[in-house]
Amino acid sequence: MKFDPGNAALLPQVVIGEADAVPASGHATAKRATEILLAHDARYHCPTRAERDALLVGFAMRRKTLYGAGYDMIRTDQHIDLADPAAIAAAIDAITVCEVKSTKQEKIRPDLKGYMFNITAAELLTAQSVGERYRFVFVHTVTGENQEMSLSEVLGRARGMYPAWHFTL
């Protein structure tokens, strides 16, 4: 079968910044970043599968799309029954959807200059749908420093952008 780019419904993966080697233990770094955020602020929460399903429906009730792989955790500004899509829809303005980006590279400064990371299509689409209630949370797992940015803030600070297509056969 010949590939026809005119019929392709694929979105590019976006990579921003300068080279920051991804260590073989990237999953351990991501897990550590999540642990740091959970310990730092009780408003952060890693949704269960059932809560993710309810979040999907609750956001859809407000015409916002969540892609399952488009976020890692949420932050809530009030108590919300995360098993109830109607409660989620009613309190949508109190929910921040968060994608965690982590590094243990010592060369990365608090201003994140030189930090290279990727944004998947699911993350990009979720960020566009959710708008200002979507945040990239950058965590340095060695220092514990973290900061949040919206998609527009990330794009505004980007010094480089390298779109790429990734295929699995």
| 128 within 8 A of 151, measured Cβ to Cβ | yes
What is the DSSP annotation of the chain? ----GGG-----BEEESS-----TTHHHHHHHHHHHHHHH-TTEE---HHHHHHHHHHHHHTT----GGG-SEEEESS---TT-HHHHHHTGGGEEEEEEEEE--TT--TT-TT--EEE-HHHHHHHHHHGGGEEEEEEETTT--EEEE-HHHHHHH-S-B--B-----
Q: Is residue 71 part of a domain?
A: yes
Q: What pLDDT, in 10s, does the model give residues 81-110?
A: 999 999 999 999 999 999 999 989 888 887
pLDDT at 26: 61
pLDDT at 159: 87
Q: Is residue 1 part of a domain?
A: no
Q: Is residue 165 part of a domain?
A: no
Q: Is residue 166 part of a domain?
A: no
pLDDT at 168: 81
pLDDT range class, residue 75, cuts 50, 70, 90: very high
Q: Is residue 17 part of a domain?
A: yes
Q: Is residue 7 part of a domain?
A: no
**Number of domains into which the chain is organized:** 1
Q: Residue 6: count other Cβ atoms within 10 Å of its Cβ.
A: 4
| 15 within 8 A of 118, measured Cβ to Cβ | yes
Domain of 146, in residue numbers: 13-157
Mean predicted lDDT score pLDDT of the chain: 84
Q: Is residue 87 part of a domain?
A: yes
pTM beyond cutoff 0.85: no
Q: Is residue 66 part of a domain?
A: yes
